[in-house]
Each structure stands twice: as structure tokens, then as C-alpha cells.
A and B are shown apart, each in its own frame.
Chain A
Amino acid sequence: MSQRAGLLVRHGGRLAFLPASVARGLLPLPRLSKIPWDSAEIALVAGEVVPVLSLGDPSAELLLCELDGQSLALSGLTAVRVGFWPASDSGVNVDGLNVPALDLNAALSQFRSAHRASQELHHE
């Protein structure tokens, strides 16, 4: 069985897997700024403005990711472990427990629709 390298995070009380190709690094939660008339948040990370996708209650850390060549930060997660684990259908198998991969695309779509809704509300 093939191995997958990545990061285990706790998200809403459950474990989720993020591949090492997506998870770039962790840093203490910086100050987050809201964009006016928008649901989006941004943060300044190493001199670069990064959009922040909130996935839950605020935690003390920010996970920096790279998705489709774009930098993106995730908040509301807690990093648990890094390692190599056997791949499973939906994610990885950690000590006999199936840990699903975090569906970033779905989260991003949700964020985009919320963003669109807030934009439309503003134009009305």
C-alpha cells in the first residue's frame, strides 16, 4: 500500500489529513483583518498578504497552504502530527483509524459562494 506524507489536524473535534504538497507551514495566529463589505479575511505573513479561510473556532495557529499555485491560510485548525501513513480511500490510515483528507476545494467553494452572497447584498 502506498504511503502518503502530510499533516494531521484537528478540525471541529475530528481529525483530518492534509497532504504535505498542500500544507506549507504553521505559524502563530497573526492579526487577521476583515475586508470591508466582504466575508473574507486577510493576514500579513512574511510580507505577503494572504487570504484566510476560517474553518472553525479560532485557534492559536494559522496553517499556510498552497492550492493551485495560490497561497492560502487556514484558521480554526489545530496541528496534531506530521508523518507518513498508509493511504486509504478517503485519506490515510493512522493506527488502524481512517482519517479523511480535508476537502479544501469544498471549503473554498463554500467560501466563494458566501463571498458572492455578501457582494450581491452590498450591491443591492
Chain B
Amino acid sequence: MSDQGSKPDPLFTVSGTRLLAALDAAKTAASRATAEQRAAGSGLSQQQSELEAVQESALKLATRSRDIRNSLLLLRESLDRAKLSALNAGLEGARLGEPIGKALVVMSDEQRNLLARALDAMDEHSALLAEVDRDRDRCSGELSQLSERARQAAAALTRAEAQSQLSCALLHEVRRDVGQLFGIDPEAEQAIAEARAQVRTAAQSLFELTQRAPLSAAALRELLSPLLTLIPNEDPRR
């Protein structure tokens, strides 16, 4: 650090400038990280919404599955009754005796066989439906877990974003303090840099003009010389 009242050590000023540049880079990186985290958080929120939609579909599927089960129960009841009707028809035939009732008994037996096959097929359907229900329940559970994890990740990203914003603010403060410490006013430096750029542009334009109008070159050179002195390392002869 320079002593008070004396001119600052150029090496010291260069170090300060480098430190400020590093702080600027760190601040930019932190800002980018904040933006990336925000984008990731938004993506996760969307994913969570999609997962919730899928969960809702799974719930609707459960309702439909229940409806199918109820229909199957109704069907089973109807088949059971039809089986009893077939047996009753057979009993009527049996009471009539052979040969009159034989046809009725045979018919009822055929009917009973068909109904027994239908009942077996329905039992198979019920078993398959139960299996589908188990798979659906498992998927639903996994979806809930995924949704919960997405929610936790989104919350973690929100917290990380807040931390990044805080880091940005702290870096800004540190940069300001370092600037003051090294006697560098970042705002003034930026204004000077902008002014230099403006002067350089003006000088360039005037130089081009001298090329087009060689007679007035001397007069213009006189005009340019004081301007060029404002730009360090700039050749006034140009």
C-alpha cells in the first residue's frame, strides 16, 4: 500500500487493478451461476408439474380400474345366476325323466360347461387386473418419490440461487472496498476508458480525413496533436 501524501507505487496499482479484474470475473461468474441455477430451477419445476400430471393420470387409471372391477363383479354375479338357471332347467328335464327330459338335461349341461369356461376366463381377467393394479400402485409410489425428489431439488436450487445472489452482492462490496483500498475509483476508471475510446474514434476519423484532403493535413495535424496526447501510447504523427 502507498504512503499517504505520496504517489502510489505503480506495481501496487497494477496489483490492485488485477485484483479488481479478478473480482469482476468472479462476480460475472457468480451472476452466470445464478442465471443457470434459475434456469435449472425452472426446468425442475416444469418436470415436477409434468410428474404431478402423470400422477393424476395414474389416479384416474385407478378409478377406471375400480370401475372395471365393479363391472367384472356384476358380470360374475350374472354368470353365477345363469349357471343356476342352467342347472334349474336341467333339474326340470331330470324330473320329466327319459327320454322327454334328456334333451333339456343335455342342453343345460352344455350351457353349464360354457358358463364354467366363461367364469374361468373372468377369474383370469380378475387376476390380470389385480396384477395391473399392483404394477400401477408401484408406479404411482415411484412417481410420488420422483416428484418429492424433484421438489427437494427445486428447493435446493432456490436456496443455491439465493446464495449466489448473496455472493454477487458480497463480491460487489469487496470490489468497491478493494478499489478504495488501492485508491482506484472504478467508476472514474470506466468513464476515462470510455472517453479514451471516444477520442480514439474521433482521431481515427480525422486521420482518415487528412488522407483524403492532403492540403489541409498540416492544419488538421495541429488539431489532432492535443487530442492524441490524451491517448497513451498513441503516435501523434499518425
Contact = CB atoms under 8 A, between A and B. Distances in A.
Interface of A: 3, 5-7, 20-21, 23-28, 60-61, 79, 81-84
Given A20-B95, A83-B94, 9 more contacts: A3-B98, A21-B95, A26-B87, A26-B88, A81-B90, A81-B112, A82-B109, A84-B98, A84-B105
B87 A6 contact: no
Contact of B91 (A3, A25, A60, A61): A25
B81 interface: yes
Q: Is the interface of B mostly helix, strand, loop or mixed?
A: helix
Contacts of A24: 91
Contacts of B80: 28, 60-61
23 contacts: A3-B98, A5-B94, A5-B97, A7-B94, A20-B91, A21-B95, A23-B91, A26-B91, A27-B84, A28-B80, A28-B84, A81-B87, A81-B112, A82-B87, A82-B94, A82-B105, A82-B108, A82-B112, A83-B94, A83-B109, A84-B94, A84-B98, A84-B105
Interface in B88-107: 88, 90-91, 93-95, 97-98, 101-102, 105
A79 B109 CA distance: 12
B86 to A, nearest CB: 8
B104 to A, nearest CB: 9
A81 B91 CA distance: 9
A60 B80 CA distance: 9
A79 B98 CA distance: 21
B114 to A, nearest CB: 14
Query: Looking at A28, A60, A84, which has the most chain B CB atoms within 10 Å of its CB?
Result: A84
A48 B101 CA distance: 28
Given A60-B80, A81-B112, A82-B93, A5 B101 contact: yes
